[in-house]
A and B are shown apart, each in its own frame.
Chain A
Amino acid sequence: MADQQNTINTNKWIDNYADYLFNYAISRVNDSNLAKDLVQETFFAGLKSAKNFQGKSTERTWLVSILKRKIIDYYRKINSKKGKAEVRMNFYESGENEGDWLEERVPQSWDNASEKSIETEELRNQLEICIDNLPEKYAMVFRLKTIQEFETEEICKELDITASNLWVIIHRARTQLRKCMEDNWFNN
């Protein structure tokens, strides 16, 4: 039985795949303009390498694989921005008491937590503000794991990071988010 070969039709790319790729990108980077740029770059890269398309996968799968590379490149770029100070709070001691809570960062009790945990538009808005205040790479990994609920393995593959690296990022993100919500929501 002969394998069915997929072919490329660049004229239909925008109509057929722009929305799918845009949705794919935005769920990973959470920035509409950046997602648009990534989709555009994907189409340009696709055009450039159209000759290499072997027809073994569908056009969409092939374009998604290009987009994935673009997302990894973007992640690497934000991960290696040297000189740009990372806005990361330290929560734990170093030196003799390494790993213990810093006194000023110790979690405070949330007196009205049950009342404040009821899901409202306001709560979601505050949460989004706190996520947006995270360093970009933390926000990206946190969204993929917690909001989009991707498997650990999938994120590691997509962003080319190790599982232990992922857990360190998730931990730092969650610690900062907890503090941000404590200051701006629970104890506000």
Chain B
Amino acid sequence: MFKKLKITCDEATTICDKNQYGEATTLELLKLNIHFIRCRICSLYTKQNIKMTKIYKGHSKTCKQVTHCMTTQDKEKLKKALEETSI
């Protein structure tokens, strides 16, 4: 039974990443926590990952506030190109 719960560091960190978005399953979290008992490196990865998530969230907030628009020049070019195509 315990063999089924054993995972590699690659799998553990994948679950940890998934969990940063709240999308890891209960079984996956159980496997992850069992893995932590024997692996300090993955525990450190997880701590740092949580920090990185906070940084990503801050960056996301800033990025989402920006609305991108096409320049008037680009729009004019596009208009001409469309007119030429539709003729």
Chain A residues packing against B (C-beta within 8 Å)? 10, 13-15, 18-19, 22-23, 26-27, 32, 35-36, 39-40, 43-44, 47, 91-92, 98-101, 106-107, 109-110, 113, 117, 119, 123-124, 127, 145-149, 152, 167-168, 170-171, 174-175, 177-178, 181-182
A19 to B49, CA, bound (A): 36
Contacts of A43 in B (CB 8 A): 78, 82
> Contact: B17 with A147, CB < 8 Å?
no
Q: Which residue of A lies closest to B8 (CB)?
A: A99
> Contact: B54 with A117, CB < 8 Å?
yes
> Contact: B55 with A23, CB < 8 Å?
no
Secondary structure call for the B interface: helix
> Given that A14-B75, A106-B41 are known contacts, is A36 also in contact with B59, CB under 8 Å in the complex?
no
Contacts of B14 in A (CB 8 A): 167-168, 171
> Contact: A99 with B82, CB < 8 Å?
no
Q: Is B81 an interface residue (CB 8 A)?
A: yes
> Contact: B55 with A119, CB < 8 Å?
yes
Chain B residues packing against A (C-beta within 8 Å)? 7-11, 13-14, 17-18, 20-21, 23, 41, 44-45, 48-49, 51-52, 54-56, 58-60, 62-64, 67-70, 74-75, 78-79, 81-82, 85-86
Please list 26 pairs of residues, one from A and one from B, whose beta carbons are closer than 8 Å in the complex, sorted by A's number: A10-B86, A18-B70, A18-B78, A22-B69, A23-B67, A40-B78, A43-B78, A92-B10, A99-B8, A99-B9, A101-B9, A101-B41, A106-B41, A107-B41, A109-B44, A113-B48, A117-B55, A119-B55, A146-B56, A147-B59, A147-B64, A148-B60, A167-B18, A177-B52, A178-B48, A178-B49
> Given that A100-B8, A124-B62, A148-B60 are known contacts, is A174 also in contact with B17, CB under 8 Å in the complex?
yes
A113 to B58, CA, bound (A): 16
Contacts of B59 in A (CB 8 A): 119, 124, 127, 147
Out of A36, A44, A92, A145, name the residue touching B8 (CB < 8 Å).
A92
> Contact: B63 with A147, CB < 8 Å?
yes
> Given that A127-B59, A147-B59, A152-B23 are known contacts, is A117 also in contact with B10, CB under 8 Å in the complex?
no
Contacts of B75 in A (CB 8 A): 14-15, 18
User: In the complex, how many angstroms separate the beta carbon of A166 from the nearest chain B beta carbon?
Assistant: 10
Q: Which residue of A lies closest to B44 (CB)?
A: A107
Contacts of A168 in B (CB 8 A): 14
